Amino acid sequence: MENPRVVDRLCHTTGLLLVLSGLVHLGVFAVDGGPWDGPVSWRKPITFGLSFGLTLIALTWVTSYLRTGPRLRSTLLLVLAADCVVEVGGITLQAWRRVPSHLNMETPFDTAVSMTLAVGGGVLVVLLTLFAVASFRHRPTGPTGMALAVRSGFAILLVALASGAAMIARGVVLTRTGHQEAAYHSTAPLKPLHGVSLHAVLVLPALARLLSRSPWDERTRRRIVATAVGCYAAAVAGAGVWAVLTY
């Protein structure tokens, strides 16, 4: 499948289905109840469905501004879409089984799911890093401020990837050394940093796109985007400080 339009539609549809999955589980949570926090809760299929769905939709749109070959972009997006489905599917499966999805080595099946999710996380790191590198190798296209928004969004997204990798690494170490319960709670300090930095690649380009439809001149629009980037970076830095202080 090499037609960029077909790939874009497929990725958008997949993203919408993942978002719908998150919303459906929000309804399940409203009916079934249970804790919101902790390794076993409906929070995980809700937040992961929404986050992965929105991220897939955002990246499908944002990468259209990158100066990459259409075949390479389509291939990376298809792998990304498949990986998002695997991640959300594994998390949702374990939520229905009432067992933790990540860092769970209690049974061979749980270990297989946990390792699949970990490998999927590694695939995400590779894919998104490739997109980030592409955004800095060649100036992205688009309206005034879009290049800054796209590059800043991907740079901040790398912070999300690093914090996610750190959570997995610390959890695996604690699990392997016999501290299973501590592993489940070890990710808490980095969750705000991970969550805040994850969606800059959607928020900042969306702002640049909205400003392109405003009556303001290019200089004003560029300043607004730069200010937004600064504010977002400050929020990420604040979450980073909190993570350091509570880690």
Q: Same domain for 22 and 78?
A: yes
**Looking up tokens 């991907």, which residue turns up?**
154
Predicted TM-score of the model (pTM): 0.86
Q: Same domain for 131 and 23?
A: yes
- Is 169 in contact with 121 (CB distance < 8 Å)? no
Q: Same domain for 209 and 108?
A: no
Q: Same domain for 128 and 168?
A: no
- Domain edge (last residue) among 104, 120, 138: 138
Q: Same domain for 85 and 193?
A: no
Range of the domain at 147: 142-247
- Domain edge (last residue) among 117, 138, 159: 138
Q: Same domain for 105 and 177?
A: no
Total number of domains in the chain: 2
Q: Same domain for 213 and 239?
A: yes
Who's near 163: CB < 8 A, 6+ residues apart?
A: 190, 193, 194, 197, 243
- Domain edge (last residue) among 138, 163, 180: 138
**Looking up tokens 């880690």, which residue turns up?**
247
Residue 121: give its domain's CATH number. 1.20.120
Each residue's pLDDT tens digit in the chain (247 positions)? 557 789 999 999 999 999 999 999 999 999 998 888 878 889 999 999 999 999 999 999 999 999 988 899 999 999 999 999 999 999 999 999 999 887 777 889 988 998 899 899 889 989 999 999 999 999 999 999 999 999 999 999 999 888 887 877 777 777 777 766 666 666 777 888 888 898 899 999 999 999 999 999 999 999 999 999 999 999 999 998 988 888 7
**Looking up tokens 């079934």, which residue turns up?**
32
